[in-house]
Chain A
Amino acid sequence: MIHFDKVSKIYPDKTVALNDITFKIDPAEFISVVGHSGAGKTTLLKMLLAEEKPTKGKVFLESVNIHALPRNDIRSYRRRIGVVFQDFRLLSKKTIYENIAFAMEVAGHEDADIEADVPYVLKLVDLENKIWNYPDELSGGEKQRVAIARAIVNQPDIVIADEPTGNLDPLNTFEVVQILKKINDLGTVVILTTHNKGVVDSVGRRVITLDRGKIIRDDPEGRYVL
């Protein structure tokens, strides 16, 4: 489904973020990408989101080179991906309902669908009682669950979770991991980057380990080894 083909990324200051990496991701896979800070995890995700272009190599989604897409198609492509960030990145001036509705609006959904689906996804993440609150009125764990609801509301093919548990306590971390596993069980590819050994080990799925821009391990049922 996703294919990184000999991808390198060298920034203008000569930092080598990714160094000739090749790997494939099949449909419905759950992949944890681990590595120290500066190993290239964030660059890898940015490439998938078409935020960064590779210096060398290509990234394919279903045989389409995503970095050769015209700008308008990049927007459509991004609507196939749900993203969850460590710092939640919710729109602070919008209510929880509006944060999730916004993702549906930009994907061109009708108001009636939005009115039906937003409460539904909020129920999935157990936040239906916070629908009219603002992000600042929620705890860290609740914010992350809203971010997950926003990421999945358009039923994306891929969910990217960039350090989603970095700011959470163990209980909320456990809840977020369970939700991500549930999303994966429904057939969505989940790509998780994390520093949290416990999270990787509890997921128990494929683990790609990066070190200084290179893949040093790719274990089908891996553990966090660094």
Chain B
Amino acid sequence: MSYKMITTNIKRVIRSGFFNFVRNGFVSLSSVLVMVVTLSVIGSLILGSAILNTTLDVLRNKVDLNVYLIPGAPEKDILSIKQTLETLSEVETVGYVSQEQALAEFTVRHETDQLTLQALAELEENPLGAVLNVKTKEPSQYKGIAEFLQGRNILGSAGAPIVDKVNYYQNKTAIDKLSSIIASSEKLGLFLTLILIAVSVLITFNTLRLVIYVSREEISVMRLVGASNFYVRGPFVITGILYGIVSGVVTLIIFYPILFWLGRFTENFFVGFNLFNYYTSNFGQLFLVILGSGIIIGAVSSFLAVRKYLRT
């Protein structure tokens, strides 16, 4: 077949797909509505997972591990521990609060407590030690860091231990609980996402199967006049893609006012996460995912649904 004939055939198939979409107005409307529901589920799951991830990130950031060093420990030794911690793959950041900073922060924190400030002033030396504030990538990794610090019995250059205490063991229960909540939430989120996406896609697939079932006579006529599978299937796939595009655009339009309204509430409920701001700042990605899902679901469902009628 010549190149010209191939392009002519492709043009004819696309044109026919467009005509099917426009002329089967009611069927197209029903299919688009079903797909809007499917794409809304997919979009809601993306937004839901953004809420979940942001909330979990905030919770993760609330947990940290403080390494309290003995007052008077040499800064060189402390910075050496800091450097060692930073080389560990689990560690995200290590903050250093010097003795002087610790004292200044303590003073600010207790500026209304004159008794404590007087007691502090009477001391000749700074009673507070420096602190290393460690943040790991996952809360479950704090245990390993605490054991690393305890197990090594870290000594300063003078040969004396310089770590006073590690606060992990005081917060252990809270950290373990949080780790387990985060892990369960992620697993549950993934499970629900997969189930809901599968159900929505199946509903759309069955709707398009029904649409094509209605056209089975038409398909048999096409085959009897000698149409190739490409010629029979092509227009249905194009129509399926159009359902996907229109449904995707409608879904994104419907999301706009709903998320505008919901944004204020999510900001209050979910630690400052405004869903509408997320929608507008990630619009490009959402557009691609929702429209892409619509196009893929529409095309693949139509492709598979027509296959049944092309067997002889």
Interface flag for B53 (CB, 8 Å): no
Q: Is A130 engaged at the interface, CB distance under 8 Å to the other chain?
A: no
Evaluate contact between B23 and A93: CB separation under 8 angstroms: yes
Q: Is residue A150 contacting chain B, with contact meaning CB distance below 8 A? A: yes
Give chain B interface residues in 194-234, CB to chain A under 8 Å.
Answer: 217-218, 220-228, 231
Q: Which residue of A lies closest to B232 (CB)?
A: A106
**Is the CB of A145 closer than 8 A to any CB of chain B?**
no
Q: How far is the CB of B298 from chain A (nearest CB, A)?
A: 19
Q: Which of A79, A89, A91 contacts B226 (CB 8 A)?
A: A79
B224 touches A83 (CB 8 A): yes
**Nearest CB of chain A from residue B312's CB, rounded to whole Å:** 7
User: Which residues of A (80-117) have their CB < 8 Å from a CB of B?
Assistant: 83, 89-94, 98, 102-103, 105-108, 110-111
Note all chain B residues with C-beta closer than 8 A to A106. 222, 225-228, 231
| Complex contact B20–A75 (CB within 8 A) | no
Q: Which residue of B lies closest to A78 (CB)?
A: B226
Give the residue of B12, B24, B217, B226 whose beta carbon is less than 8 angstroms from that of A75: B226
A89 and B217 in contact, given A75-B226, A78-B224 (Cβ under 8 angstroms): yes
Whether A107 contacts B226 by the Cβ 8 Å rule is: yes
Residues of B within 8 Å of A92, CB to CB, are 218
**Which of A49, A102, A107 has a CB less than 8 Å from the CB of B222?**
A102
Given known A51-B312, A89-B217, A111-B8, contact A103–B20 (CB-CB < 8 A): no
Q: Which of A94, A108, A150 contacts B225 (CB 8 A)?
A: A150
Rounded to whole angstroms, the CA-CA distance of A92 and B221 in the bound complex is: 11
Residue A76 at the chain B interface, CB threshold 8 Å: yes
Residues of A with C-beta under 8 A to B253: none
Measured CA separation A78–B231 after assembly (Å): 14
Determine the distance from Cα of A91 to Cα of B215 in the docked complex, in whole angstroms. Answer: 9
Chain B residues with Cβ below 8 Å from A108 are 1, 5
Within 8 Å CB of A79, what residues of B?
225-226
Query: Is B148's CB within 8 Å of the partner chain A?
Result: no
The contact string, 1 if C-beta is below 8 Å from chain A, for chain B 1-37, is: 1000100110010000001100110000000000000
Digitize A134-175: 1 where CB-to-B-CB distance is under 8 Å, 0 elsewhere: 000000000000000010000000000000000000000000
Hey, which chain A residues are within 8 Å of B20, CB to CB? Answer: 93
Tell me whether B8 and A93 are in contact (CB under 8 A): no
A160 to B223, CA, bound (A): 15
Using Cβ atoms and an 8 Å threshold, which residues of chain A touch B217?
Answer: 89
Residues of B within 8 A of A72 (CB): 228
Q: Is the CB of B24 within 8 A of A105?
A: no
Q: Are B8 and A89 in contact (CB under 8 A)?
A: no
Q: What is the minimal beta-carbon distance from B18 to any residue of chain A, in angstroms? A: 12
Alpha-carbon distance between A105 and B224 when the two chains are bound, in angstroms:
13
* Docked complex: B152-186 residues within 8 A CB-CB of A: none
Report the minimum CB–CB distance from B179 to chain A (whole Å): 59
Q: List 25 A-B contacts (CB under 8 A).
A: A51-B224, A51-B312, A75-B228, A76-B226, A78-B225, A78-B226, A79-B225, A79-B226, A83-B224, A89-B224, A90-B221, A91-B218, A91-B222, A92-B218, A93-B19, A98-B19, A102-B225, A102-B227, A105-B9, A105-B231, A106-B226, A106-B227, A106-B231, A108-B1, A111-B8
Interface, chain A (partner B; CB < 8 A):
49, 51, 72, 75-79, 83, 89-94, 98, 102-103, 105-108, 110-111, 150
- Besides the known contacts A91-B221, A93-B24, A105-B9, 7 further A-B residue pairs in the complex with CB atoms under 8 A apart: A51-B224, A91-B222, A106-B225, A106-B226, A106-B227, A106-B228, A108-B1
**Closest A-B pairs by Cβ, 7 of them:** A79-B226, A78-B226, A106-B227, A103-B225, A93-B23, A89-B221, A75-B226
